[in-house]
């Protein structure tokens, strides 16, 4: 399957100058979707496309710019702010709109004079969740995270035997998912203090973040009708950054036997821009389980998944405390180290007949790297709180304190390929 076309040409430039700047997240080769309105206005939400430091307002663009036959119809749900309806249209609609937007935003485009009037500076845009999220499932694909955390919680049995056979997941909470800029109130719950025989109830003392990617589903499947790997590969819409905030002391007491509950349901933060799978095509990579590990069962295996199931996305966590003038990077990892691919997660989720729907969110789980210092949570970086991190400000952290701001960032970059960035997923602990 040839995933590369003219929209990926690294030499392609835009008439939006900021899209051509070195290091920008939002090149013309990216074109992610987000839901926005002008800050301070009560205008209807609409879908926009990030280009450089601007947002292309697709409501205005659909009305004021001439488009080729068929494109105007595909733009209508986006103009109406309904990304879910566009997601449901599938891969052909995504590719058609991407090609049309790329051509319209490219240097020398005849549509440029029309679209210049449809740009909004990102600093003047109020962002919302990009789509209606009907359901949220969080997986556990980061084997390095699973192993490290398993050693902290279960020293004698860190990685359970099913981990290398089946993508592990649990059903999360949709109502507490917010967009970047979210404030997070420290949750309360039951905890069991060391040496105590009875739990107590009170504020979380071991508040943490989790570095994840979120997968947004495109076309769904009918109840009782599983997805094949080929269908799953065609049907995932795109990726966002995801911070699955975690109350570690509450989690340690409550997670057995049914898994996370209050430790996870109080807040999750995603980035506002959805990077489509088409934009990520130049960064697809071969996928295989390590030699000696069990190979995926046939329903989780395909020739394409082996050849290009992985995605080369660099991930980072940054922290800003009240005393810091600028945030500090805490770690860096890569999505290629995940134990399962996007298509495998969708396929497994639907394999029992579960009906996925456009806009459903699937979290990858914490994406830690294999090396020391690549933990995707403070739980890992501080060795369960035993080894405090010393920050550039001279402060130390084992877990998050009130006023701390956590910023997730991600990008794809390689010689001969255009940079594809994700923006940020930022959240601040109230206090």
The catalytic site residues sit at 145
Tokens of 348: 């497994």
Which value, to the nearest 10 degrees, does the dihedral of the CA atoms of residues 140, 282, 300, 161 take? -30
Burial bucket for residue 297 (CB in 10 Å: 0-12, 13-18, 19+): exposed
Contact present, 131 and 353 (Cβ < 8 Å)? no
Alpha helices in 5-142 (DSSP H): 58-64, 71-79, 83-87, 91-105, 112-115
> Containing H/E element for 408?
strand 405-414
User: In 347-378, which positions are buried (b, 16+ CB within 10 angstroms) versus exposed (e)?
Assistant: bbbbbeebebbbbbbbbbbbbbbeeeebbbbb
- Tell me how far apart the 2 most distant CA atoms of the chain are, in Å: 73
Q: How far apart are CA 3 and CA 216, in angstroms?
A: 19
For residues 333 and 211, the answer to whether their CB atoms sit within 8 Å is: yes
Within 10 A of 64 (CB to CB), how many other CB atoms are there? 13
* Residue 299 token pair: 């329903």
Question: Which residue reads 């790997």 in tokens?
Answer: 229
User: What residues does 311 pair with on adjacent strands?
Assistant: 284
Strand partners, 411: 314, 421
Please report how many Cα atoms fall inside a 13 Å half-sphere around the Cα of residue 45, on the Cβ side. 14
CA gap 392, 374 in Å, rounded: 18
Q: Please, where are the H alpha helices in 183-258?
A: 229-235, 248-254
CB 253 within 8 Å of CB 192: yes
Backbone angles phi, psi at 252, to 5 degrees: -60, -30
């Amino acid at each position: 399957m040839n995933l590369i076309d003219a929209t990926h040409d690294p030499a392609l430039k835009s008439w939006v100058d900021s899209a051509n700047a070195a290091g920008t997240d939002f090149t013309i080769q990216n074109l992610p979707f987000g839901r926005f309105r002008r800050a301070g206005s009560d205008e209807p939400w609409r879908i926009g496309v990030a280009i450089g430091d601007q947002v292309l307002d697709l409501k205005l663009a659909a009305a004021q710019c001439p488009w080729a036959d068929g494109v105007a119809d595909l733009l209508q749900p986006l103009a109406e702010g309904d990304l879910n309806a566009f997601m449901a249209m599938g891969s052909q609609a995504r590719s058609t709109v991407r090609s049309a937007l790329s051509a319209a935003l490219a240097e020398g485009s005849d549509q440029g004079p029309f679209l210049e009037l449809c740009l909004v500076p990102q600093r003047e845009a109020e962002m919302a969740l990009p789509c209606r999220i009907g359901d949220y499932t969080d997986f556990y694909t980061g084997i390095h995270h699973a192993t490290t955390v398993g050693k902290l919680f279960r020293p004698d049995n860190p990685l359970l035997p099913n981990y290398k056979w089946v993508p592990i997941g649990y059903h999360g909470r949709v109502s507490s998912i917010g967009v970047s800029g979210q404030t997070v109130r420290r949750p309360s719950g039951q905890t069991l203090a060391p040496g105590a025989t009875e739990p107590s109830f009170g504020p979380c003392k071991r508040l943490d973040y989790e570095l994840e990617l979120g997968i947004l589903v495109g076309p769904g499947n009918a109840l009782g009708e599983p997805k094949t790997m080929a269908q799953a590969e065609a049907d995932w819409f795109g990726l966002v950054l995801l911070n699955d905030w975690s109350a570690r002391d509450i989690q340690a007491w409550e997670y057995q036997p049914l898994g996370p509950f209050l430790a996870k349901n109080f807040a999750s933060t995603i980035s506002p821009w959805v990077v489509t799978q088409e934009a990520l095509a130049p960064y697809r990579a071969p996928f295989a389980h390590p030699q000696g590990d069990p190979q995926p069962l046939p329903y989780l295996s395909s020739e394409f998944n082996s050849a290009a199931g992985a995605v080369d996305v660099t991930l980072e966590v940054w922290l800003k405390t009240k005393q810091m003038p600028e945030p500090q990077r805490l770690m860096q990892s890569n999505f290629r180290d995940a134990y399962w691919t996007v298509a495998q997660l969708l396929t497994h989720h639907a394999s029992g007949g579960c009906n996925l729907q456009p806009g459903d969110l699937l979290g990858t789980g914490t994406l830690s790297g294999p090396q020391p210092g690549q933990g995707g949570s403070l739980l890992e970086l501080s060795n369960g709180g035993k080894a405090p991190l010393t920050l550039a400000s001279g402060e130390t952290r084992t877990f998050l304190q009130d006023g701390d701001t956590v910023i997730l960032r991600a990008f794809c970059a390689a010689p001969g390929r255009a940079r594809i960035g994700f923006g940020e997923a930022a959240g601040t602990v109230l206090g």
